[in-house]
């Protein structure tokens, strides 16, 4: 028996969509990328979307475009994948940890407020496991202290906060489209924004700072005297996505709502089976927001013992997230995050799980370790 921790379910139409791109004669950033950007922006109720080649690139570009002074402090969560922290370092800024709420894993606004200094220039909250953080309070702090907000929405595709889709906020919202996420393009990332005209700069930045990408230059190659001309406005990065990935994302997007509903059903089964069990703490979610349930973490004592039991029975497990060794000197400021990281264990959650799978996993956990 094997029950995977994650497993992408790719639409049967994906192979045909990829084949069509292969036959089109254009594999790089082209018409399919723009089509995906328009569709994804509509999905999350944003003004614009800029697709890139991965989620880390999305955060890096968003931070770069914020034009913060060198060495600026960016307050973020210690409870995240290292990509969040590294993107801050790529941009020449300094990640500063605030603590998390012990019941959700999301940034605690009170801790964020306490960590703001004259050097703070931005907030970078993470919607942990797909559950939206306290956006109203965080944006209020940002307004009071004139801070930029970049949201790490890697886990939160399809989530909503007080009725508004994650991705529709006034800040820059960064998504991952990798195979473990609710919406996959095989690989990729996206930045959504409600700022008019902001996408133009991001598109240049993802293309090494060039004013016109290869697809645009190819399209005009027979109609202008010098179609190869472009302006280089600033240093950019090789973060351009492929039409191949965009084609996969486009056929996956119509399934997002139904897939997230199935994820919510799976989470509900886990809650029903594990609530009140000795040694298990479930995360607490408010009614005014809807999680995407990207993954399902529980908090347990003797975490490694339970993980070992599940693995021996063929059940995949994970830890979201271990500490980032490169920033070890900051964890003494975040006791909740340290405790969370020590006890958290992620159970299988993907739309391919059967009811029998859920019964097996829940039964093994509930039986103790």
Return d(Cα 193, Cα 171) in angstroms, integer: 7
Return d(Cα 363, Cα 140) in angstroms, integer: 44
Strands (E), 53-171: 73-76, 94-97, 120-124, 148-152, 160-161, 164-165
Contact between 285 and 131 (Cβ < 8 Å): yes
- For 177, phi then psi, to 5°, come to -120, 30
Give, rounded to a whole angstrom, the gap between the first and last alpha carbons of the chain: 19
CA 90 to chain centre: 18
Residue with tokens 């965080």: 138
Q: Quick check: helix, strand or coil at residue 1?
A: coil
Contact between 336 and 99 (Cβ < 8 Å): yes
Residue with tokens 């097996």: 360
Return d(Cα 179, Cα 144) in angstroms, integer: 38
Among candidate residues 239, 95, 235, the one with its CA nearest the CA of residue 177: 239
Return d(Cα 30, Cα 309) in angstroms, integer: 48
104: Cβ contacts below 8 Å, ≥ 6 apart: 128, 131, 133, 283, 284, 285
Among candidate residues 246, 210, 299, the one with its CA nearest the CA of residue 53: 246
At 366, which helix (H) or strand (E)? Answer: helix 355-366
Task: Extract the tokens encoding 79.
Answer: 């409870």
Q: What angle do CA 41, 43, 46 make, to 5 degrees?
A: 40
Catalytic site residue 181?
yes
Backbone Cα Rg of the chain: 21
Give the active site residues. Answer: 181
């Amino acid at each position: 028996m094997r029950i995977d921790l994650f497993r992408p379910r790719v639409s049967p139409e994906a192979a045909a969509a990829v084949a069509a791109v292969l036959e089109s004669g254009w594999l790089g950033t082209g018409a399919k990328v723009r089509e995906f950007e328009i569709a994804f922006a509509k999905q999350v109720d944003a003004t614009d979307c800029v697709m890139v080649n991965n989620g880390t690139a999305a955060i890096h570009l968003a931070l770069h475009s914020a034009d913060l002074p060198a060495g600026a402090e960016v307050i973020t969560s210690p409870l995240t994948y290292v990509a969040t922290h590294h993107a801050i370092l790529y941009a020449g800024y300094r990640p500063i940890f605030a603590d998390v709420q012990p019941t959700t894993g999301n940034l605690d606004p009170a801790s964020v407020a306490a960590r703001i200094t004259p050097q703070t220039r931005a907030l970078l909250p993470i919607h942990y496991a797909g559950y939206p953080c306290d956006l109203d309070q965080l944006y209020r702090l940002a307004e009071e202290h004139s801070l930029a907000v970049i949201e790490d929405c890697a886990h939160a595709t399809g989530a909503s906060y007080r009725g508004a889709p994650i991705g529709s906020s006034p800040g820059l919202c960064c998504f991952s489209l990798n195979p473990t996420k609710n919406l996959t393009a095989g690989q990729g990332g996206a930045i959504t924004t409600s700022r008019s005209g902001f996408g133009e700069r991001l598109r240049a930045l993802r293309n090494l700072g060039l004013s016109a990408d290869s697809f645009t230059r190819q399209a005009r190659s027979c109609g202008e005297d010098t179609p190869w001309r472009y302006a280089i406005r600033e240093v950019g990065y090789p973060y351009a996505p492929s039409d191949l990935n965009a084609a996969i994302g486009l056929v996956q997007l119509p399934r997002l709502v139904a897939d997230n509903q199935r994820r919510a059903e799976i989470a509900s089964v886990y809650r029903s089976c594990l609530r009140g069990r000795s040694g298990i703490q479930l995360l607490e979610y408010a009614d005014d927001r809807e999680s995407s349930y990207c993954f399902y973490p529980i908090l347990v004592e003797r975490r490694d013992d339970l993980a070992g039991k599940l693995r021996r029975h063929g059940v995949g497990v994970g830890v979201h997230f271990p500490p980032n060794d490169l920033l070890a000197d900051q964890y003494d400021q975040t006791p909740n995050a340290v405790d969370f990281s020590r006890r958290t264990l992620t159970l299988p959650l993907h739309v391919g799980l059967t009811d029998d799978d859920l019964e097996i996993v829940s039964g093994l956990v509930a039986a103790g370790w």
